[in-house]
Structure 1
Amino acid sequence: MKSILSTFVVLLLFWGNVLAQKPAPVSEYGQLPAGDTTGVWTELNIHQNPKTEELLERQIRLNKNRQTTPGYRVQIYFGSGSSARIKAMKVKTDFLSSYPEVKAYIIYQSPDFKVRVGDFRTRSEALRLQKKMTRDYPNAFIVPDEIQFPDLYSNSSSEN
């Protein structure tokens, strides 16, 4: 009985606090009460280590010089051995004759030569090309890679 009574008293005290809360009027611009600027910061001071600024500037410089971005490509060949380079060049040439609109790259990662095609930002874009060329390259697969930035304007729009 005492626990029920003490629980009731505690709930009664909380209920009084709940009723004491009154919402502030809201202006049309958001959460600030209309016409009331008390408690609003008019100045913001940031105190930080000077090394932080140096690191930020360094990162900005690195990003400006960066020529690639993370993305996906479709790998259509990989091989090693004495004739792997020649075979990779042949695969690239054959691919470009069938798909001239897609860029192809020969990559050497010791001891393998690889032929990767396309510059796709998302895996689903790469999957579309992979499905399109399944008949010609049944063993092709999607790999994450650093890709070239896509052209902002196509050649047809620059001629207008």
Structure 2
Amino acid sequence: MRILNKKNNLLLLGFCFTGITYISAQDSTNLDNPTVFTTVEMTPPVEPTITINQDPRINQLLDIKTKMDKDGVLSENYRIQLYTGDLNKANTIRNNAEKTFPQWRADIVYETPNHKVWIGNYRSKLETDRALKEIRKEFPNAFPFKPEKK
């Protein structure tokens, strides 16, 4: 039994010795740098450049759209009607409205069978009510409305 025990111990010792020599042989390849880690140099990323090729007329279109938005051509705005009736009286009222309220544009719109005088182009009901309060001092029959889109 002792002989088997000695054989097992020798066999175990041989395996350990073989493993140690194998590991030391692996480490001997890196004699100049005893650590396992190596240094890596990172370069900063290159800044990307973006080139946009656009038609110069796009800026002109954007300016036109901005102006149309301000004038209320593209959106559903409120207006105030001052008069409805014949053309001669409508012209007189429009001229009077433009002199009295130069900050708002007055137009004559023909809807069969009458000519209508509309003033302003307001973005909100609140803005319309404020203007109406001022306009009614000169034109007491004025009323606000929302024009239908054609």
TM-score by length of 2: 0.49
Q: Which of the pair is proportionally richer in helix?
A: 2
Structure of higher CA gyration radius = 2
The structure carrying a bigger strand percent of its residues is 1
TM-score of the superposed pair, with normalisation by structure 1: 0.46
